[in-house]
Amino acid sequence: MREQGRSFYKDVFRRLWKNPIAVFGLIIIFLLVLLAIFAPQIAPYDPYAINLRRAHESPSWDHPFGTDFFGRDVMSRMIYGARVSLIMGIGVISVRAFIGITLGLLAGYYRGWVETLIMRLTDAVIAFPGLILALAIMAVRGPGLFNVFLALSIVGWTTFARLVRGEVLSAREQDYIVAIKALGAKDLRIITRHVLPNILPAIIVYSTLGIAAPIIAEAGLSFLGLGAGADEITWGFMISMARGYIRYAWWSITFPGLAIVVVVLAFNLLGDGLRDILDPRMKDT
Amino acid sequence: MHFYIIRRLLQAIPVLLIVTIIVFSLLHFLPGCPASSILGEEASSADIQRLREAMGLNRPVYIQYLDWVSGLIQGDFGTSLRDGREVFPTLMRRLPATIHLLIFSMIISISIGIPVGVLSAVKQNSPLDYFSRVFALLGISIPNFWLGLMLMLLFAYYLQWLPPSGRGTIAHLIMPSIALGTSSAGLITRLTRSSLLEVIRTDYIRTARSKGLRERKVIYGHALKNALLPVTTVIGLQMGYRLGGSIVTEAVFSYPGIGNFTYQRLLSRDMPVVMGNLFLFASMFVVINLITDITYGFLDPRIRYD
């Protein structure tokens, strides 16, 4: 069993390597992670250094992406901003996956009132456009990046819950699960050893494709002034602060926005590639 | 069919009920007292107590909930904390502007998404297909507020073709609708393409081709109808998700809709307005999904007997 599992993922990696577009996405993600980790070493300027005499300078050799209204280097701030975007995207999707998988497993495996309760709750959470629910949570808890993280984690797990429940429902009818059960395996063991590994590919695909949404949502909330605080650097907040000067300093809005597009695009490219490999039923969707 | 509609209607009731519980508990059980957050950190505890009383926050929780829900049913969403006006009529007055925006952006996403998706599938693996896939992927990767700002920069400030903000004419609607509709356009393109590709591979299409029908007739007469079925569901869902997007988009263009209004009130912590809007949007979402499902039931008889 073990050996087979390992070779399956080796095979996935081999096939991913043959998909140039997915590899392109992966390379961009890798570079962004490096930028985020080594931001202090890579950034040419201190992202907080105010220099009012050099405010609103257009892009030049000194400042490739120009400077903002405080004379701070836009590129350096963007490099630091990668940290929040990546943590937000990967962190939120992890929490969403955890909640969704747990609830989906419970609903699919135990059926009965547990299932009814969980699925009705899922329906109700789906009934909220995610951003609005997040906004409401922000309204109560107040602005701040941690609250954004919390608000975005509580919504959006429904896709995972539905996916996992459906897969568990079909898995439990299959002969091998029935056989293991007849052999006396415990529920928890069946779930973790047999059901979960079978749905893992689908979960990986959904997680990768799902990273884009919290990144865009954080940028949107920070843009609305509900996310980052004055001393935090995020792309959405940079755009928000520069918005009033849109006519004089297009660069301090354009480049941070491009950064969001690039990171979102990279995860979507990788996700598309993984989906073609891991979930052939969904190919071309 | 009647049976199916009735069943779907009945299913919507518990969902709406849970929606009310979620909205209510969000604002009551999450850490952070609304009264003290309205008054700020310097407020004295006596002030906070007075406001709590005025807001009815010191009554038992289930009474507050029942009170709120029975109000909702009668269209009484409470009164605003900021100007003391009734919430429901205030929201209703701003709703039409938002609905105009939603419909206009929907038209844009459908009229781009479906034709491009069809072309992309019919000419699979051609440069055209490649181009439209890139376009679709870009569409779903661009944050709508940033796209809005870029459009504003280009068309309002640089070219000066369109008004940068406000409402009144069709020209005011163009940029917000594009900003709001682009991601759905991308999604609809991708889905139309994949759905059509899937249908083209089925046996009945092979039959249609082998009996000598023209390709045009095969695609547009036989394949497209079935291929668009899943697209209708996504269009419905997208319509609902766009309610969330409308808040950001309306804020970018200072568009006087319900989203921008709620955002302004959210900043000043006018909870009855925020709660009312939350419930209104969620109910609209449920109703839109209901209509989508029923339409789907009409279009695809298989669904009804599930």
Which range in A229-233, B44-48, B148-152 is most confidently predicted, on average pLDDT?
A: B148-152
Single-letter residue type at B84 = G
**DSSP secondary structure of B146-158:** HHHHHHIIIIIII
Q: What is the pLDDT of residue A210?
A: 92
A2 pLDDT exceeds 70? no
Q: What is the pLDDT of residue B179?
A: 93
Which residue in chain B has the smallest CA separation from A270?
A: B137
A85 pLDDT exceeds 80? yes
Q: B7-30: b or e for each residue (b if 16 or more CB lie within 10 Å)?
A: ebeeebeebbebbbebbbebbbeb
- The Cα A89–Cα A35 span in angstroms is 16
pLDDT tier at B36 (50, 70, 90 boundaries)?
low
B159 pLDDT exceeds 60? yes
Assembly ipTM? 0.88
Q: How far is A4 from chain B (nearest CA, A)?
A: 31
Q: What is the pLDDT of residue B105?
A: 94
Q: What is the pLDDT of residues A99-144, one digit of tens each?
A: 999 999 888 888 788 888 898 888 878 767 677 778 777 777 778 8
In the predicted model, what is the mean pLDDT of residues B259-263?
A: 90
Asked if B26 lies within 8 A of A137 by C-beta distance, the reply is yes
Q: Return the minimum-mean-pLDDT range out of A73-82, B99-108, B244-253.
A: B244-253
Which range in A214-218, B68-72, B281-285 is most confidently predicted, on average pLDDT?
A: A214-218
Q: What is the pLDDT of residues A205-216, one digit of tens each?
A: 889 999 999 999
- The Cα B291–Cα B303 span in angstroms is 14
Residues of B whose CB is below 8 A from A246: 149, 152-153, 157
Q: Kindly give, in sequence order, each residue whose CB lies less than 8 Å from that of residue B286, ignoring residues fewer than 6 positions away.
A: A127, B12, B15, B16, B19
pLDDT tier at A1 (50, 70, 90 boundaries)?
very low
pLDDT tier at B252 (50, 70, 90 boundaries)?
very high
A256 pLDDT exceeds 60? yes
- Give the residues across from A73 on adjacent strands: A67
Residues of A whose CB is below 8 A from B278: 128, 132-133, 136
pLDDT tier at B55 (50, 70, 90 boundaries)?
low
Q: Return the minimum-mean-pLDDT range out of A230-234, A244-248, B26-30, B98-102.
A: B26-30
Instruction: Identify whether the C-beta of residue A240 lies closer than 8 Å to the C-beta of residue A224.
Output: yes
Residues of B whose CB is below 8 A from A136: 23, 26-27, 274-275, 278
What 8-state DSSP symbol labels residue B223? Answer: I
pLDDT tier at A284 (50, 70, 90 boundaries)?
very low
**DSSP secondary structure of chain A:** -HHHHHHHHHHHHHHHHT-HHHHHHHHHHHHHHHHHHTHHHH-SS-TT---GGGTTPPS-SSSTT-B-TT--BHHHHHHHHHHHHHHHHHHHHHHHHHHHHHHHHHHHHH-HHHHHHHHHHHHHHHTS-HHHHHHHHHHHH-S-HHHHHHHHHHSS-HHHHHHHHHHHHHHHTSHHHHHHHHTT--HHHIIIIIIHHHHHHHHHHHHHHHTHHHHHHHHHHHHTTSSS-TT---HHHHHHHHGGGTTT-THHHHHHHHHHHHHHHHHHHHHHHHHHHH-GGGTT-
The rounded mean pLDDT for chain B is 84
Q: Kindly give, in sequence order, each residue whose CB lies less than 8 Å from that of residue B125, ignoring residues fewer than 6 positions away.
A: none
Tokens 């206009």 correspond to B104
Asked if A142 lies within 8 A of B37 by C-beta distance, the reply is yes
pLDDT tier at B32 (50, 70, 90 boundaries)?
low
Which range in A98-112, A186-200, A254-268, B289-303 is most confidently predicted, on average pLDDT?
A: A254-268
Nearest to B153 by CA among B179, B191, B122: B179
CB proximity under 8 Å: A 86-125 to B: 120-121, 123-125
Q: Kindly give, in sequence order, each residue whose CB lies less than 8 Å from that of residue B225, ignoring residues fewer than 6 positions away.
A: none
- The Cα A38–Cα A160 span in angstroms is 33
- What is the percent of chain A with per-residue pLDDT over 90, rounded to a whole number? 34
Q: What is the pLDDT of residue A131?
A: 77
Which range in A222-226, B15-19, B72-76 is most confidently predicted, on average pLDDT?
A: A222-226
Q: What is the pLDDT of residue A194?
A: 80
Q: pTM of the predicted model, to two decimals?
A: 0.87
- The Cα B197–Cα A260 span in angstroms is 31
- Give the residues across from A60 on adjacent strands: none
- The Cα A258–Cα B212 span in angstroms is 50
CB contact A253 to B (< 8 Å): yes
- Residue B200 structure tokens: 């083209």
Return the SS3 of B301: helix
Among B149, B153, B277, most A C-beta atoms within 10 A, so best to mutate, is: B149
- Residue B99 structure tokens: 């609905």
Residues of A whose CB is below 8 A from B14: 120
Residues of A whose CB is below 8 A from B16: 127
The rounded mean pLDDT for chain A is 86
- The Cα B57–Cα B49 span in angstroms is 9
pLDDT tier at A196 (50, 70, 90 boundaries)?
confident
Q: Return the minimum-mean-pLDDT range out of B12-26, B106-120, B254-268, B277-291.
A: B12-26
Asked if B149 lies within 8 A of A220 by C-beta distance, the reply is no
Instruction: Identify whether the C-beta of residue B180 lies closer than 8 Å to the C-beta of residue B101.
Output: yes
A220 pLDDT exceeds 70? yes
Phi, psi at A127, each rounded to 5°:
-65, -15
Residue scoring higher pLDDT (B71 or B188): B188
- The Cα B146–Cα A262 span in angstroms is 13
Residues of A whose CB is below 8 A from B144: 220
Which residue in chain B has the smallest CA separation from A132?
A: B244
Residues of A whose CB is below 8 A from B267: 225
Q: What is the pLDDT of residue B305?
A: 57
Q: How far is B297 from chain A (nearest CA, A)?
A: 19
The 3-class SS string of B165-182 reads: CCCCCHHHHHHHHHHHHH
pLDDT tier at B39 (50, 70, 90 boundaries)?
low
pLDDT tier at B214 (50, 70, 90 boundaries)?
confident
In the predicted model, what is the mean pLDDT of residues A153-158?
A: 88
- Give the residues across from B86 on adjacent strands: B79
The 3-class SS string of A146-188 reads: HHHHHHHHHCCCHHHHHHHHHHHHHHHCCHHHHHHHHCCCCHH
- Residue B295 structure tokens: 């339409």
- The Cα B200–Cα B124 span in angstroms is 11
- What is the percent of chain A with per-residue pLDDT over 70, rounded to a whole number? 94
